[in-house]
Amino acid sequence: ALWAVVNNAGIHDGLFIDWTPVDTFKMLMEVNFFGMIRLTKEVLSLLKNSKGRVVNLTSLDGYRPLPSIAAYTSSKHAAEAFTSCLRWEMKWFGVSVHSVNPGTFKTVLAEGAEERIKLLWRKVPGSCKREYGERFSKKILTFTRMFTSNASTQTSLVADAVVHATCSEYPCRRYFPGYDAKFLWKPLRDLVPEFIMDSIIDTFLKFALPRPAATM
């Protein structure tokens, strides 16, 4: 008998929509979204028999979008929607479905962000490069370096959430491991009106990055 399946496969690529090829969007959807669907559908009959569990590692980025990660956050929002629909539909069969939405942790994905951006910038068409400018590209690298260096090293929080979702008698529907997820982004997403959230993001971009060269 199969008690649970944990969908944990995930990749990250792309940056600003202007810079990111459509093929990158497709690649992330293929792994982060369609991979989750394929594996889940393969084992659903076994989970119905055992009245087991599905645990999907989506992301905090599937709970709230942020600029500069459209390809990744789109795939994770799709995974979140799939997880919610599956949870409602599987209640008929006694199968419970749970999502784990980690914040920012020092993982291989985070540590490789700077190199991914450098490679992506080299491939950006010349006209687009002129619109943003070299100063902008250098600043985004500096910001990424600062962001990833401050990422949490407590990856055990994610593992603990997965274990609880899989084994606990009373699992949660959603888990938000990481202090940034639990105490910053989740409250902002849940409690702050969208027009205020837009103002927060606008202010953040204003101070974190220079304006693209073509908008000066």
In the residue annotation, 72 being an active-site residue is answered as yes
Query: CB within 8 A of 98, min separation 6: which ones?
Result: 53, 54, 55, 56, 83, 87, 165, 171, 172, 173, 174, 175
Which secondary structure element, helix H or strand E, spans residue 160, and what is its range? helix 156-167
DSSP 196: H
DSSP 179: H
Q: Token match 């910001």: residue? A: 143
CB-CB contact of 43 with 149 (8 Å): no
**Amino acid found at 34:** F
Return d(Cα 203, Cα 168) in angstroms, integer.
Answer: 41
Which secondary structure element, helix H or strand E, spans residue 156, and what is its range? helix 156-167
What are the beta bridge partners of residue 98? 55
Query: CB within 8 A of 144, min separation 6: which ones?
Result: 113, 114, 117
Query: CB within 8 A of 161, min separation 6: which ones?
Result: 100, 102, 175, 177
Annotated catalytic residue: which of 63, 72, 132, 175? Answer: 72
Q: Supply the residues annotated as catalytic.
A: 72
